[in-house]
A and B are shown apart, each in its own frame.
Chain A
Amino acid sequence: MTIFIENRSMVTPGEIIAEGNYNVGQNVYRKDKRIISQVIGLVSIKDDYINVVSLKGKYIPRVGDTVIGKVTDVSLNTWTVDIASPYPGILRPATSLDRRFDPVKDHTRKFFDIGDVISAKVFSFDRTRDPVLTLRDNNRSGSTTFLGKLIGGRVIEISPSKIPRLIGRRGSMISTIKQYTNCRMIVGQNGRVWFKGNSFEEEYLVLQAIEKIDREAHTTGLTDRVKEFLEDARKKMGKPTAKGEQPKK
């Protein structure tokens, strides 16, 4: 039971992290009692659980995730949605519309057309089938993420493994950004973030903040630095703080 690598430090594929009866977490594998990293990332050791938090990689759908996708194909009863993953998302009218869909009378194109950006939830996915999306939120806790067509605003794509960093501990990072920019934001677990603000300057601030997080995700004290950055930027804009400021209609 020895650990060779310090917690929170960087590892590369094939690097031995520990030896002994540890539990294998994400992005590590076991070979002859040795726990070895699979990816470039940061080690996180909790009790005897060894994880590596990857710094890059493609999104692999997980049931229940909110994703932001772009409609790439429309057929008579299906939309194919690009969700920035190796597998295309499939959306059907039955799980996405508020009313009955009659394939004889109704046209799928009238609801979503090619190029439309939507936020959706992953309804089902396994390694044999492509992910099925839904626009219905059967979450009992009363989640407020908007599911449906996103009109206006911007979408930025970052590495999906950095999304937890963007959200922050208990949502601290994301609420900081919202607070300083008055922007509406929807974060997709697939690495896409949609945001819409009242002015270009504020939207641009969000963009810069997200890019900063994407670039510096492997460092510590990021929330404070982002806060500092946003504060400085607001001062330069002549609006020192956004706290309590009501968004314009």
Chain B
Amino acid sequence: MTNKEKTVLITKNGIRHDGRKKTDLREIRFEVGILDRADGSAIIYWGKNKILVAVYGPRELHPKHMALPDRALIRCEYRMATFSVTERKSPAPKRREKEISKILAEAIEPAVFDYLYPRSVIDVFIEVLQADGGSRCASITAAALALADAGIPMKDLVVGCAAGNLNGEVVIDLDDVEDKEGQGDLPIAVLPLSGEVVLLQSDGVFNPEQYKEALDLLMDACQTIYKLQREAITNKYAKITEEIIEPVEVEPEPTEAKVEKKKGEKTEEKKETEEKTPKKKASAKKAKSEQSEESEKKKKTSKKKEKKTPPKKDEEAKE
């Protein structure tokens, strides 16, 4: 743990090697809902970290024997891309990745109302595209956003941040160099509303005063990050609202083009299906004719009946 003379981690004036002060965070930016196929997704840019999170679920769990009878299983997979660090990382999951997957799943669990979805699973996939220290904290911060984006009921979002010990000075948000050459690393994750700690790890040396100071600084930092998190969510929906308010006249043109384009595609498909239909089983035909008869009957009486049904649905809707 000897400090190399090359990099000055922190000067007497309290300036760190990258120009930050003791309690400065790196720049943090989020984007929510960036993957179309996933139920929820988020990407976080935290300093030089780039981490992509996808959430699937709650969904059916296979193998079934893993299912929990009273709540949803939360599975988490933290993976670093081979190109995420300067020297190629072997793609096989290492001990470190398995450990982080486990602690992240356990950190997410207290925030999620998992008892609402018994026997199912919520899958969280975390891909580190670029790593620069504090990736587990960034991962959990992004994972909470992705979970919220998936519409999974949560007590609160989860925010992670790390503190460190650089030559006796307590600092916030370590980067890779500080993590490797400093004297201590203290990652933490909290539920910002209640201040509950859901993850606390500690590497290296801290004396009791330093530990207390670190925790105080971290709580403040987490509140700052929490605000950014919430902004990211509201921004996603505010964007759509803005689009609607401003350009009303722009929309029709491209839609018409689409119709024509798709029309061509579709007629081809129709031909195909027409060719296929004679081959279909007789039973299918029968059913079809039955249905069409029914539909004709309906058409005659439909307008009355149709008007009857919607209000009932509406009552449900109001609930």
Contact = CB atoms under 8 A, between A and B. Distances in A.
Interface of A: 10, 12-16, 27, 29, 31, 36, 38-40, 54-58, 60, 86-88, 110, 127-128, 141-146, 148-149, 151-152, 159, 161, 163-165, 167-172, 174-175, 178, 184, 187, 189, 200-201, 204, 208, 215-216, 218-219, 225, 229, 232-233, 236-237, 247, 249
A159 B157 contact: no
A123 B127 CA distance: 41
B151 A55 contact: yes
Given A13-B148, A216-B240, A86 B255 contact: no
B314 interface: yes
B306 A57 contact: no
Contacts of B288: 151-152
A22 to B, nearest CB: 17
A237 B284 CA distance: 34
Contact of A170 (B192, B234, B310): B310
19 contacts: A14-B157, A29-B155, A31-B194, A38-B113, A54-B151, A57-B151, A58-B117, A87-B60, A127-B118, A128-B118, A141-B312, A142-B308, A144-B298, A159-B151, A170-B314, A189-B316, A200-B267, A201-B263, A208-B255
B181 interface: no
B184 interface: no
A201 B259 contact: yes
A14 B155 contact: yes
Contacts of B283: 110
Contact of B148 (A10, A40, A60, A165): A40
Given A10-B234, A110-B283, A149 B291 contact: yes
Q: Which 5 A-B pairs have the closest CB atoms?
A: A171-B310, A57-B151, A164-B317, A56-B151, A14-B156
What's the interface size class on B, roughly? 35 or more
A39 B151 contact: yes
Most B CB within 10 A of own CB, among A110, A144, A175: A144
Given A55-B151, A216-B244, A175 B316 contact: no
Given A127-B118, A208-B255, A218-B240, A161 B57 contact: no
Contacts of A29: 113, 155
A14 B150 contact: no
Contacts of A12: 148, 157, 229-230, 233-234
A113 B191 CA distance: 48
Contact of A58 (B59, B156, B294): B59
Contacts of A184: 295
B151 A151 contact: no
Nearest to B192: A14
B234 to A, nearest CB: 6
Contact of A204 (B156, B262, B313, B316): B262
Contacts, number: 175
A87 B67 CA distance: 12
Given A12-B234, A38-B153, A171-B309, 4 more contacts: A12-B230, A58-B151, A159-B151, A187-B313
Contact of B191 (A14, A40, A86, A201): A14
B94 interface: no
Nearest to A207: B262
B193 interface: yes
Contacts of A232: 252
Nearest to B273: A152
Nearest to A38: B153
Interface string B142-158: 00000011111111110
B6 to A, nearest CB: 43
B142 to A, nearest CB: 15
A170 B194 CA distance: 41
B40 interface: yes
Contact of B314 (A159, A171, A225, A233): A171
B256 interface: yes
B20 interface: no
Contacts of B299: 247
* Residue of A27, A58, A143, A152 with most chain B CB atoms under a 10 A cut-off: A58
Nearest to A166: B317
A225 B276 CA distance: 39
Given A175-B306, A218-B240, A88 B60 contact: yes
A225 B248 CA distance: 9
B22 to A, nearest CB: 28
A201 to B, nearest CB: 6
Nearest to A54: B151
Interface in B141-178: 148-157
A57 B60 contact: no
